Structure formats: C-alpha cells, structure tokens
Amino acid sequence: MLRTQLWLLPSLGVGLALGLGVGLPRLDARLGPDVPSWAAPYLFGGGAGAARAVLGAIAGSLITVTSLTFSMTVVALQLASSQFSPRLLRTFTRDRVVQSTLALFLATFTYALTVLRTIRSPGESRDIFVPQIAVTTGFVLALVSVLALVLFLAHLARELRAETTLLRVHAEANETIRRVLPPRSSTSLDVTPVSPPPDTLPLRAGASGFVLRMDASSLLSAAVEADAVLLIDCCPGSLLVAGTPLGAGWPRAAGSFDTDVELRLTRQVARAISTGPERTAAQDVTYGLRQLIDVAVKALSPGINDPTTAVHALGHVSIVLCELAGRQLGPRPLRDERGDVRVMLYQPNIADLLTMTLVQPLHYGAHDSTVLAQMFSLLRDLAWHVSADQRPAITHQLEVLRAQAAGQRFGSREMARFDMLSNQVEQALTGRWAPAWIPS
C-alpha cells in the first residue's frame, strides 16, 4: 500500500535534505581553511552575497518547477481516469520516476533554504561564514534537478501512451498470477466437491470493502481448531458487506458447534480476510483483467470512439488469459496433516474468466468487425493453451460470439472472415494450428 502513496518518497527527500542542510555547513565550519587543495578549485568561491543569491535563485526556481511538476502529474491522472479507467490511477501514483522526481525537487528546495540560513555577511554580529561545500552541493543539486525535469517530461509523455499503460497493467497482472497461483499440473489432487449439510454456520464478514488478502494458513488453523469444514465463497477482489455471510462452516462430525466454538470460529475467519476501500494486485488475480477490460470498454464508448485501443487492450487480455490457463484454477482445497479437506476456497475457473472478459466488450463492440475479429483471435490463442476439461468453456463462448456476429449487418467479406476465424478456433481446440494465410 505504501508503494502507491505519492507522498512517501517526497517526504523522505525533504527529511534527508534537512539533515544534509544542517550537516554540511557544520562540516564547512569544522574544515575552515583546511579544505584539500585538489578540491578547492571546484568549490564555490564567492562571498556571502553571491552565496545568498545562488541559493535564493535555486529555492525560488525549484518551488516553481515543483508546482509545474505537480500540475502535470494531476493532468496525467485526469487523462488516465477519463480516457482509460479510474482503476489505472494507482499505476500512475506508484510510478517511481514521478515519486523520485518530486522528491528531488522538494529536497533541493528544502536544502537551499536550510543552507541559506547559515550564511553570515560582513557587518553582522557574528563572524563571516560562507559554507563553500554546502553551496556547491546546492548548485550540483540544481543541475541534477534540471536534468530530472527533462527526463520527467520524456517519461510522462511515454507513460500517457495507451500502449505503455496496457503493457504495465498486463505485466503486473502476470506477476500477480505467477506469485499467487501454482502451475497447472496433471498430477494435482482431485478436488472433490464439498457438500454442506442443510444447517450450516454463516461466516459473516467483519468489515465492508473489497477483499485484499486471504490468510489461508489462518483459515486452515481455525478449521482444525474447531474441528470444522469451511466453505469460503469469496476471493480477493470480491466486495463484502459487514455482517453479510461470506461462507459457511459446519462440524466435521455430526452435531452442532458449541456457542464458544462458534463465536471463536467466526472471529478467526473474519480476521483472516482483510478488506479495503479499493482493489489491489496483492492477491487479486483478476484485477489486471478488470483494468484491461475497462480500457477496452472505455475506448468503445461514443465519447472516446477508439476501437484500435480496444483491440490492443483485448490483445493484452489474451496474454493474461493464456498465463492464467497455465495455472491451477477453480476451487482451492486446504488440507490438514492427514490430507482431509478442511477449507474450500472459491477461485474463478476459465469459464468465469471468459465471461468476465468478453461480456462487456462484446456488448459494446459487437458492431465493429475489428473488435469481433480480435475476440475470435483471443479464443484461438486461449484454446491452444487450455487443458481438455477447459475446452467446453471456450466452445460455449465461441457459439455466443458466432451468434453475435451473425446478428450484425456485416458484409459478405466480414462474415467470411468470421467463419475462417471460427474454424481456426475449433482447430486450435483439437491441437491443430492452421496458418492464418496461405501463400499464393
């Protein structure tokens, strides 16, 4: 969470600058005329008036540049929110280049003001003092800040491009998937469906908000301690309402829970599930897909009308889905030391993921042949990576896509292209990859 805060690095920079602005003048005072001869030509050689003029110019210009940088950052956030998706704001606020640039500007401004107070001119009550090392350091920081401003402008122009934003989102999504989900394995233990009895204990949410993290070990420990079986029907990214059931629990043996055991189990489950006001990529494997789909839907809106960006977003969706296809999807069982299932966690399967990713783009982009063609290509790419038990989900979505394309007023060439793409999806489902074109 701290990584996404825009204030953290600038605050650290200001604190470091205060320490440096106090320490370097003391070093100057201690060295006095004993500065090494090799360093003397490179140090500031002016008097007290010149030193004050230099530091004053640095402080004045840097606070102006900082204001400009903040303004450009705010404009970038507004553009990202209006043209891409409000859920992409976190991507910009966590940008280390933006945070580091603001930290450098504020640190240089703070340093110049701190050193400025130590300079003493002739005629003042105390001896003349011009901290040469400190003033020279301020001059170097000003030059570095000028270079940082140029690099920041180039970085901001690159970050505002749709291609860069989409690449960032899909890279972060793939990182989360690889960290959270284990690879798909043909030797995995079969997941036996858990059938709850008629009377179960509702496990209520302790707080409202989006599920950020689920502590699997704590849930398993709570189930073992209560000698219970738990069924959790939410996952990271789900929205919970305090007091509303998020799952159910029941004794492993026949009977019912004691009152004390019931209260303790409910509290332990509530503590094991952390919520927050917005979704994050910590454990939410579908958050990246949600962001990419939002970009595609926004690009298809009449106010934006940018189907090319929608096509590119669906291409990145295809990359993320293929990464997910190679992972263990569906319900996740947690077993005790004897191998008995004690907790069953809900996780989306390939059918859930396809529904989430295709319903909205298909609704808003059904009239655009390029968008439909990209959806056929998405299914083809995914069909090549899925296992045999996942193929029916792709077949179902292929039929939906065919019906949607047939209901539009496309010409014969577009319909022939859709038929070809549909056949390619079917071939990929059987393990064959036909060339998209044949040389004449």
CA-based nearest residue to 316, from 172, 156, 155: 172
Q: In what order do the strands lie in the sheet with 209-214?
A: 239-240, 209-214, 273-276
> Percentage of the chain with pLDDT > 90?
70
Q: What 3-state class would DSSP assign to 336?
A: coil
Mean pLDDT value across residues 274-281: 92
Amino acid identity for residue 349 in this structure: N
Give the mean pLDDT of the chain: 90
Whole-prediction pTM value? 0.84
pLDDT at 238 exceeding the cut of 90: yes
Angle at 330 between CA 186 and CA 257, to 5 degrees: 115
Amino acid identity for residue 147 in this structure: L
d(CA 62, CA 149): 10
Q: In what order do the strands lie in the sheet with 341-345?
A: 201-204, 245-251, 228-232, 341-345, 332-335
Q: How many helices (H) and strands (E) does the chain have?
A: 14, 8
Q: Residues 202-235: pLDDT tens digits?
A: 999 999 999 999 999 999 999 999 999 999 999 9
CB 75 within 8 A of CB 83: no
CB 173 within 8 A of CB 83: no
Confidence of residue 385 (pLDDT cuts 50, 70, 90): very high
**332 beta partners:** 345
Q: Residues 342-380: pLDDT tens digits?
A: 999 999 999 999 999 999 999 999 999 999 999 999 999
Angle at which helix 48-79 crosses helix 96-116, to 10 degrees, equals: 160
pLDDT for the residue 199: 87
d(CA 223, CA 342): 6
Which tokens belong to 72? 């450009």
pLDDT for the residue 289: 96
pLDDT for the residue 74: 79
Angle at 204 between CA 340 and CA 195, to 5 degrees: 35
pLDDT for the residue 124: 63
CA 325 to chain centre: 20
d(CA 139, CA 120): 19
Question: Per mean pLDDT, which range of 32-41, 91-100, 321-330, 395-404 is the poorest?
Answer: 32-41
Q: What 3-state class would DSSP assign to 343?
A: strand
pLDDT for the residue 191: 59
Q: Which residues contact 5 (CB under 8 A, 6 or more apart)?
A: 93
Angle at 101 between CA 95 and CA 102, to 5 degrees: 95
d(CA 175, CA 161): 22
Angle at 403 between CA 401 and CA 406, to 5 degrees: 110
